[in-house]
Amino acid sequence: MTASSSAAFARTVRGTGPGLLLAHGAGGGIEANYGPIMEGLAARHTVVGVDYPGAGATPKAQSPLDIDELAEQLVAAADAEGLDTFAVSGFSLGGPVAIRLAARHPERVTSLVLSATFAHTDTRTDLVASIWQQLFASGQHSVLAEYLNLMTLSEAALNFLAPAQVQAAAEQVALTLPSGTGDHVDLVRRVDVRADLAGIAVPTLVVVTTADPLISPALQRQLAAAIPDAETAELPTGHLPFVERPEEWLKLISDFLARS
């Protein structure tokens, strides 16, 4: 048993209907990453998500995170809610979690939605994550928050704000960084689910965030190309569609799930 599995993962459950599991991103959480669209998702689905160690109310892990463990914790949450089958939506780091879940439990997954995500990190993304990890570990959280504004917002969204607004937003972000951020980003740098992609046989939608400074659109399109018959939708946003274009993101997810 890993350190992370010895403590209960905090669970979010909303709505009724077919199952929909949510996998969140590094340094985020279910509420942080899906909160702006949760009501819309729960209008048609039983939505279940878990917060990774060190996010939300889940205790911080005492050892490195494991992608298989995160996937199995999400399945355990589905089991606890009586969901035999389910769609899975993965955002950013949640994409590899969703992919690994589908690879381990193909008979239970009905469809996948993968947004602003990757199957592995390239050199550029690893450098971005390395700086993120170092700033967090050194306690320079205000500088990290400014860096995250730069690396997650689209150029248009960032330039829409005045420098004083960006600074104020960074100060708020710095106060809310999850304690497990460093562990999450460490997993971003290690994870590689490329070997799982060719075996995915369920309907899959890859939402490419085309103005994303964090996960390049090229890396996202590589993921889509490696999944048989995957659909691709392009969303003109930075890395945080729930901040910049929540209604459009919700519509892409909801429309796909309704017909898959």
Could you count the other beta carbons within 10 Å of the beta carbon of residue 116? Answer: 30
User: Over its length of 260 residues, how does the chain's per-residue pLDDT go in tens digits?
Assistant: 333 344 589 999 999 999 999 999 999 999 999 999 999 999 999 999 999 999 999 999 999 999 999 999 999 999 999 999 999 999 999 999 999 999 999 999 999 999 999 999 999 999 999 999 999 999 999 999 999 999 999 999 999 999 999 999 999 999 999 999 999 999 999 999 999 999 999 999 999 999 999 999 999 999 999 999 999 999 999 999 999 999 999 999 999 999 98
| Domain range annotation of the chain | 4-120+192-259, 124-175
Could you count the other beta carbons within 10 Å of the beta carbon of residue 175? Answer: 9
pLDDT one-digit tens code per residue, 9-40? 999 999 999 999 999 999 999 999 999 999 99
Q: Report helix, strand or coil for 190.
A: helix
Six-digit token string for 89: 């939506």
CA atoms of 254 and 21, how far apart (whole Å): 13
Beta bridge pairs of residue 96: none
Q: Which CATH class is domain 4-120+192-259?
A: alpha beta
Q: How far is CA 97 from CA 29, 64, 218, in A?
A: 14, 15, 20
* Three-state SS sequence of 113-180: EEECCCCECCHHHHHHHHHHHHHHHCCCHHHHHHHHHHHHCCHHHHHHCCHHHHHHHHHHHHHCCCCC
Q: 90 phi and psi, to 5 degrees?
A: -120, 125
Backbone Cα Rg of the chain: 17
